[in-house]
Structures are given as structure tokens and as C-alpha cells.
Amino acid sequence: MLRTSWCRGSLVLAAAFLALAWGASMPSPAAAAPTRVELVRVGDAAVTDALLASLGATVEVRSADRIQALVPPSAIPALRRAHGLVRLDQPGTPIPLQALSTSTLVGADAWIDGGLTGRGVKVAILDTGFAGYEAALGSTLPNAVTARSFRADRAIEGSNDHGRRAAEIVSSLAPGAQLYLVSFSTITEMSAAVDYLIAQRVDVISFSIGYIHNGPGDGTGSVGRIVSRATDNGIAWAVASGNWAQQHWGGTFRDDNRDAINEYRPGVQQLTHYFVAGDLITASLRWEDTWGAACADYDLEMFAPSGALIRASRDLQDCSGNPVESMQVLATESGNYAVRVIRGNTASARRLDIVFVGLPDRGQNVSIPVPAGSLSAPADHAAVLSVGALTNALVRSEAAYSSRGPTVDGRTKPELLAPTGISTSGSEFFAGTSAAAPHVAAAMALLREALPGIDRGRLVAELYGRGALLPAVQDGTAGARRLDLSSTVGIGPLLPPGANQASLEGRIVEGARQIEVRYRGPAGYPLRFLYRLAGDRDIAGAWVFDRTNLRWQGYVMGAPTVPGAFDRLSEGDSLVIVLR
């Protein structure tokens, strides 16, 4: 015990010396309000914890190698210098990608009429806010959901209803799915939420949030690593592609007059976007370079409608750090704001990507839009199904605002397009790729119920293969498919005609683990839907008397369908049902 106490004391003392050496003053009682930081631990965990304690940090969230903490502002320089222990992660800003479904839009009506509801499938809506979800229980949401917050303030509802609307779409298409409503506000909180969903053995995650330039554009980066942790554990993702196709510019740095200022096209050095007073403006520049070790240096400047310089991002890229410059500005007046790019050193001209957007998103375009390469993160991840927005139910092409690939490593994105512009909870309107992604998540739930035991990779491939191939279009969307579940080929037996009048004859004792009954109804009733006749009880399996071969045959609920297996009922069949 004495030895343990001495070791801990030594770590704290050593960390205090390190903090002083790195230029931090010890926190004082009258210190300024703490700042929230997100850290990636790269060194010894105990020494890192001791350093944070010596700097007066309060740890809020831990997940894998990530730490979210409140620290005195005076401690931040010490954290920046502690390269061997922690790395300050660039704060990610989650942006809801919105601008109830009818199942006929995606062909799911045949599946639902046939008895598939997503029963037994766990679907998580991972989002920043679920305001109003309790009032929706039993109407546009199921009677019961699992709600969990990983926000530092533990608020499940957050400051918006974005997640609740996405959940309503999932519920409308897959009413039997078990829903998880999980909220977060930072990348570290998102990481902790994904840890929870992995532990809960969730099958599908619906993600209608986008990050700007969180990684080089190939599916890696801090958010991409979190997604990989989930996909490696068998979770399938339906991810909104983003709404920034017309608020994006991409091209190689051009400087015809050699004044170190990028020309978006010959002679044009400013990219403009109309904003309304009160809008939160986000401008972000990313260029082609080594992530974490960028040597080319570019700066980003923003100008007010009056032409005055109002903000500049001029981090020094000297073969360290990421090839990104970004800023957020609150619009103080309505008008055209502008951004320009300055080359800061003599490195060769690089490919540039600029996203210039506002909250709320009013649908205004930048002056020279380039849709190709406008994907948000993690829609660029190779293992997720990225979902773009259909123009409408009649014009089946990608909406002009819907973000698209190719990714920086040349992959086509999005893979699927789905409906948007949906009314939820009465008169509420839910648009953008935020509404498209939960359609695909619900389709995954239906397909997973239809094909018991299907793994993530096959589930994604099966759903993509069922999509209706769209005509090839420009800007990186060639190969995208429209979500289409109209074909029931390969999903096993659906309910036969007259199945709604089928019943079980016999005494079903409440609380019994085993019941003996007789089936009354049309021939060909699938055993997989036996729960519909047994009061929605949780059935483990059944023994059915085969009158042709005069023997009992067993059926395990949820087991993979084997060709030729005894898996359907005929009028008068005797059953012994085993309940969980």
C-alpha cells in the first residue's frame, strides 16, 4: 500500500515538473473558465493522467485512446508541447445534414405486407439531438426505445430534434426494429457512444451527421477510426453523404499572376457565398498532403460583404500537423461573404478542397461550385453505405445539393440514393441526405430479418445489389443506385395469401415455457413468422409433426435458412412451441 501511494505521488510530482518545463503555470483559484479539449493519448496512460491532474484538468469522457477534458486555458500550451504523451485533436463540428416516409417510395411495402418488420434487429440512430422523442413514443416511434446520452451534460434531447426525425423514418419502414436513440456532441463522446453500441451488439447504425475535412478524404481520420471499430465488430452503417455539392470548390492551386493567391478560375481570386445576418459560417480548406505531416503551407482568409478582412486562418504547416485551415464566423450582416487561399511557402501546387457553408443551411450556392469530391466524413469510409438524396420520387437522379465522390483514393460515392423531403410528426418537414440515410438503415433491418445470420459485409453487398442502377452522371456518381426493395427474390418465404386469418388452436398458458397448439390457416405459412400467431411472444423454436414422414422436426428461430429445410406450416399441423 505504501509503495503504491509512493508511485502515484511520484507520477504526480513528475507530471508537475513536466508541466512547468513545458511552460504551464499551475492553476490558481482565480483561474479563467475552463476550456473543453479533445486529446489523443500517445504515451503512458498513468503519466498522462498524472499530467492532466497536475494541470487541473477535469476528465469528462474516455474512449479507447481518446480523452475529453475541461482544462484551464493556461494549461493548453503545456498540452501542445507534451508530444510524447498526448496530442491535441482538432475539434470536430458535427453538422446535421438536413435541408414520415411512405414505404412505396423504396419498394418496402411488399416486405412489410409479407410480414417483415425488422423484428429482432437492433438499429441505433446516432445523432446530436432527439428533442420531442418522448412525446412521439407510441405514435411515430415505438412504444419503447432505448435512449442514452454520451454528452458531457447527459442531455439526450440536446438542442435539436434532428435524431428524432431520423428515428421516425426508421420506425415507419421497420416498425419491429429495436431502436436505440444515442446522442453525442464531440468526437470523443461519439467514440464512447460507439463503444456502448458495440457492447449492446447493435446491428445497424443510422448516421445523418457530417464532419468537414475530418481526415484526408479516404475514410481515415479520427471519425473514420471510430467507424472502423464498429464495422470490425460487425455493425453496418448507413451514412448521409452530405448536402454540400453546391457549396464546395475543388481544383489545383492556380496562380497565373504569381501573387501567391489562388485563382478559382482565371482572374477570379475570391469564392463567394450569400449568408444572412445571424448565420454561423464555416469555411474549411484542405489540400493534398501527408495527414499529420503536411509540408505545403496554405492560409485561408474570409472577407465581409463590405470587402473588409474579418478572419484569417494562418497555421504554419512545416511538415507537422494536418493540411487543413478552417474557421467559423457569425455573420453580422447579410450579403456575399468571400474566401481566398494564400500559398505560404514554395511547395508545389496542390489539389485544394474548400467547403463554405452556413447554419442554418439556406440552400445558397457558392459562386463557382464544383460538386465532385464534396463528401462529408464519414461518408468517405470504405465500409459504410453512403447515402445520397434523390431529386424526388419521379425524377430518379441525385439531387443537385447531394454530396458525392470520388474519394481522394478514387472510390465512387455514394452507393445508394434514397428519398428525402419527408413529412414527420404531422407538419414537420425533414429534408436533405439526413432523411435519406435512415431509409437505408431501415432497409438493412428488413433485410437482416429476412436473411437470419447474414454478416455485415454480405448485408451491405445484398442491399447495394438490390438497388436500381441509375444512369451514369457526372461528378463522381457513376455507379450509384436507387434504393429499391421491390424484388423479394432470395429473401425466403413471405406470408401466403390469407395469412392474416391464420391462428393457433389450443391453450396458451401465460408464463409457460412450452405450449402445444395446432395451426389453422393457409398452407405455406413460414415458421419464422410464428411469433405473429403467438401473441408476439419471444420464441426460441418449435417442434412440428411432419404428417408425410410421420416424425417430429425441429426449427430454431433466427437460424440461417437452409434450402430444403422444414420451415413452413400446413393446415392442421401440430406444434410444440418453446418460448425463451
Taking the alpha carbons of 209, 213, 218, 222 in that order, is the dihedral positive or negative?
A: negative
User: 244, 376 in Cβ contact below 8 A?
Assistant: yes
Please tell me whether residue 424 adopts helix, strand or coil conformation: strand
- pLDDT (tens digit per residue) in 560-574: 666 667 788 999 999
- pLDDT (tens digit per residue) in 41-97: 998 999 999 999 999 999 999 999 999 999 999 999 999 888 789 998 876 667 777
Instruction: Tell me: pLDDT of 459 over 60.
Output: yes
Please tell me whether residue 437 adopts helix, strand or coil conformation: helix
- pLDDT (tens digit per residue) in 221-237: 999 999 999 999 999 99
**pLDDT class of 476 with cuts at 50, 70, 90:** very low
- pLDDT (tens digit per residue) in 241-276: 999 999 999 999 999 999 999 999 999 999 999 999
Radius of gyration of the chain (CA): 27
Q: What is the pLDDT of residue 475?
A: 45
Please tell me whether residue 434 adopts helix, strand or coil conformation: helix
- pLDDT (tens digit per residue) in 495-552: 888 888 899 998 767 777 888 999 999 999 988 888 888 877 888 989 998 888 888 8
Q: Which three cell numbers stand for residue 139?
A: 405514435
Dist CA 125 CA 148 (whole Å): 11
**Percent share of the chain, pLDDT over 70:** 85
The values of phi and psi at residue 224, to 5°, are -60, -35
Fold type of domain 2-88: Alpha-Beta Plaits (3.30.70)
Q: What is the pLDDT of residue 561?
A: 64
Arithmetic mean of pLDDT, 301-328: 95
Dist CA 49 CA 41 (whole Å): 10
| Closest C-alpha to 360, from 157, 98, 10 | 98
Q: What is the pLDDT of residue 106?
A: 59
Task: Give residues with Cβ within 8 angstroms of 63, minimum separation 6.
Answer: 188, 191, 192, 194, 195
Instruction: Tell me: pLDDT of 181 over 90.
Output: yes
Q: Which three cell numbers stand for residue 525?
A: 405459412
SS3 sequence, 154-171?
CCCCCCCCHHHHHHHHHH
Q: DSSP character for 391?
A: S
The average confidence (pLDDT) of the chain is 86
> Has this prediction a pTM greater than 0.75?
yes
DSSP 284-350: EEEESS-TTB--S-EEEEEE-TTS-EEEEE----SSSB-SEEEEEEE-SS-EEEEEEEEE-SSPPP-
Q: What is the pLDDT of residue 479?
A: 59
**Percent share of the chain, pLDDT over 90:** 58
Arithmetic mean of pLDDT, 379-390: 94
- Could you give the residue range(s) of every CATH 3.30.70 domain in the chain? 2-88
Superfamily of domain 95-244+375-482 in the CATH hierarchy: Peptidase S8/S53 domain (3.40.50.200)
Instruction: Tell me: pLDDT of 285 over 80.
Output: yes
Query: In the CATH scheme, what is the code of domain 263-345?
Result: 2.60.120.380
Q: Edge-to-edge strand order for the sheet containing 248-252?
A: 248-252, 351-359, 280-287, 324-330
Q: What is the pLDDT of residue 67?
A: 94
| Closest C-alpha to 42, from 292, 236, 322 | 292
Instruction: Tell me: pLDDT of 489 over 70.
Output: no
Task: Give residues with Cβ within 8 angstroms of 522, minimum separation 6.
Answer: 496, 497, 498, 499, 502, 571
Instruction: Tell me: pLDDT of 194 over 50.
Output: yes
- Other C-beta atoms closer than 10 Å to the C-beta of 515 total 19
- pLDDT (tens digit per residue) in 10-46: 444 444 444 444 454 444 544 578 999 999 999 899 9
- pLDDT (tens digit per residue) in 196-220: 999 999 999 999 999 999 999 999 9
- pLDDT (tens digit per residue) in 100-144: 444 445 566 777 777 788 988 999 999 999 999 999 999 999 999
For 306-345, letters b (16+ CB in 10 Å) and e give eeeebbebebebeeebbbbbbbebebeeeeebbbbbbbbe
Angle, alpha carbons 222-166-273 (nearest 5°)? 65
- Could you give the residue range(s) of every CATH 2.60.120.380 domain in the chain? 263-345
Angle between helix 433-450 and 456-466 (nearest 10): 110
